[in-house]
Amino acid sequence: MYGQIEKVISSFIDLDKSEFDYFTSKLQVKHLKRKELILSEGQVCSNSYFINKGCLRYFYNVNGEEVTGQFFFENGWYADFGSYLSGKPSDQNIEALEKTELLVLPKAVLDKLFIEIPKFEKFGRLIAEKAFLGIRQYTEMLTKQTPEERYLNLIKERPKVIERIPQHYIASYLGIKPPSLSRIRKRILDNK
């Protein structure tokens, strides 16, 4: 149950066994069905989530249409950082795309850990920095690449997304509509 999160945390900071056990004792396990939401817009994001198994996607509702922001897989973390930090309602929705098992880390617990085990502050900072770099990479993809380049790059860099995520969500993530992605796929096939 806690093997994966232990590996990930160890890659950030060194904890001895008692510290780690104390940490895991504060986690909650959550099982999600396909399409089940953990966070809806308007709610405050007061947890962060570690993915043991399955995958998540977050999306915005824009004029009644879903705009996909990102996908997360095993060993990934998710929180709506904006809402989490500010305590303001989130404008994101987050749902499971497969049967998913999460470890839930409430903000109150992490805030307490910052004080009780100061090493966790470094962990918090590194997670935040990773979040920043992640969104910057996505932004650069949008600003520097054409939709076709984005798709080709996704195949190369994140094959998991291609394999496990339905095409219309991928289209939305790439900033285009499903028929466009179909045409791009056809164009790529024709040019081979």
Q: Which residues are near a copy of itself by CB under 8 A?
A: 60, 62, 67, 69, 81-82, 85, 125, 128-129, 131-133, 135-136, 138-140, 142-144, 175
Q: Which is nearer to a copy of itself, 32 or 123 (CB)?
A: 123
Neighbours of 79 (CB within 10 A): 24
- How far apart CA 146 and CA 164 sit, in angstroms, is 23
Answer with the entry of a copy of itself, DNA, none that 76 interacts with (C-beta below 5 to 8 A by kind). Answer: none
State residue 19 phi and psi, 5-degree precision.
-65, -45
Closer to DNA at the Cβ: 106 or 147? 147
Residue 115 CB, nearest distance to a copy of itself (Å)?
Answer: 14
Positions of E strands within 5-164: 28-32, 37-39, 47-53, 56-62, 65-72, 77-78, 93-96, 100-106
Partner in contact with 60, chosen from DNA, a copy of itself, none, beta carbon below 5 to 8 Å by kind: a copy of itself
Please, what is the minimum distance in Å from the beta carbon of residue 186 to DNA? 4
Contact partner, 178, from DNA, a copy of itself, none, Cβ < 5-8 Å per class: DNA
> Which residues form the interface with DNA (CB under 7 A)?
33-35, 146-148, 166-169, 175-186
Nearer of residues 21 and 140 to a copy of itself, judged by Cβ: 140
Q: Of 127 and 176, which has the nearer Cβ to DNA?
A: 176
DSSP, collapsed to helix, strand or coil, labels residue 91 as coil
Q: How far is the CB of 47 from a copy of itself (least distance, A)?
A: 18
Q: Which does 87 bind (CB under 5 to 8 A by kind): a copy of itself, DNA, none?
A: none
């232990």: which residue's tokens? 6
Looking at residue 34, its amino acid is R
Task: Give which of 29, 53, 51, 48 is closest to 131, Cα–Cα.
Answer: 48
Q: The tokens 């990102």 sit on which residue?
A: 70
Residue 86 CB, shortest distance to a copy of itself, in Å, is 8
How far apart CA 13 and CA 32 sit, in angstroms, is 29
Q: For residues 49 and 102, is the Cβ–Cβ distance under 8 A? A: yes
Least gap, CB of 82 to a copy of itself (angstroms): 6
